[in-house]
Amino acid sequence: MGCSVTTIAEAPQDAPYLRPGRIGGLALRNRLVRASTSETMAAEDGTVTDALVRFYGALADGGAGLLLTGHIHVRADGQCTPRQIALHADRFIPGLRRLTARVHEGGARIFAELSHAGSQTMMPGVTPPAPSGIPSAIYPGVPRELPAAEVAAIVADFGAAARRAAEAGFDGIHLHGGNGYLISQFASPLTNRRDDAWGGDAARRGRFFIAVLDAVRAAVGPDMPVTARFGLRDSIAGGMTEEEGLARAAALTARGLDGFEPSLNLMASYRDNIRPYVGLGLARAMGDLVAPRLWSAPAPQGYYRPLARALRRVAPDKAIILVGGLRDTDVMAEVLAAGEADFLSFARPFVREPDFPKQLAAGRRGALDCVSCNICLQHDGYDALRCWRRDKGDLLRHALWRMRGAG
């Protein structure tokens, strides 16, 4: 885990978020993590493109310590969005090897976020597998219930994808165990109505996550860091409670998970997790043409700090990676100084400013530029990931795209 930080230093380059840290045995140059953000930039079949290599190269050159990829599907029927990176066959290894080599040239480390989307998919023509035949709250398609033997096969697919990630030069594995995807679907009583080895009570609902961790650990060996985006509770009434989530976190800790990035489990909407207008005052909103802020309240900064504090209590020696609405350098320093987290993870701010860590190292302080308008999210699965506010032409193209009823 990252060494704890107790003082806020005066010299700019000595700010707590710029100090080196450690996840498992892996040293990182600072505490700034690029959170998983799906790119919509792979080829149609999921192969890495030159554009993806350039994209991750720019993030590495921009100074982040650790990059978490957007979710990568471990099985063909686990794809969430078009042009998502795939790792369900050995033929995807060479492209990813080019990508990790480019990141290492820039001095950063990179973990592969491994996932199966289950019912939460926008892919046409696929009847997705899930623990039970219950649609997600976000996508209407009714999934097919997995036979027990096929559950074990998907567990093995996670292991095989982890082995490929290690061969492709990744420094670690980040399991997508949150935000409504397959691991979350097994974890929640709302979507797991089974009564067999994989469901029926809290312990059996947690078994899929533990089996996936065991398979990944067996594939990559004891030394490679394995962390997880971890859904601590559902945001839907009657769903998985925080108590159940904490018990599961304790089990994963005992099983050798090296770190947690706390988040929600099942959600009613992506906006439950990707909250709009974080810390955005009206003056900045108007300056950046964010009209909806006039009738929408801003989300608070660091909105998962309570989840991080709860996880810290059950996993005191594991790396806690805080994601969700980190925008201001004062808040970043405060979270680390209080020992609430060891690493700070950012998705939308890196979309807008891929090199903000370098700027912080050069002494920049205050708010990052991202206004959390979520236009990048609306284009997920349709257009290559980018900030649509950097170029006013893009903002106009976005407005026309919405007027045509797209997204």
Going by C-alpha positions, the residue among 20, 96, 23, 15 that lies closest to residue 256 is 23
Residue 288 to residue 395: CA distance in whole angstroms: 11
Which residue lies nearer to ligand FMN by CB, 240 or 373? Answer: 373
Going by C-alpha positions, the residue among 127, 146, 147, 157 that lies closest to residue 185 is 146
Least distance to ligand FMN, CB of residue 275, Å: 7
Which residue lies nearer to ligand FMN by CB, 38 or 191? Answer: 38
Least distance to ligand FMN, CB of residue 72, Å: 9
Burial of 190 (0-12, 13-18, 19+ CB in 10 A): buried
Q: Cα 286 vs. chain centroid, distance in angstroms?
A: 30
Report helix, strand and coil shares of the chain as percent, to nearest 5.
40, 15, 50
Least distance to ligand FMN, CB of residue 346, Å: 4
Least distance to ligand FMN, CB of residue 7, Å: 26
Which residue lies nearer to ligand FMN by CB, 198 or 388? Answer: 388
241 phi and psi, to 5 degrees? -90, 165
Secondary structure (3-state) at 19: coil
Which residue lies nearer to ligand FMN by CB, 193 or 271? Answer: 271
Among residues 56, 181, 277, 304, the one annotated as catalytic is: 181
56 is catalytic: no
The residues that touch ligand FMN, with contacts defined as CB under 6 A, are: 35-38, 70-71, 113, 176, 179, 229, 263, 273-274, 278, 323-325, 346-349, 376-377, 380, 385
Which residues are identified as catalytic? 181
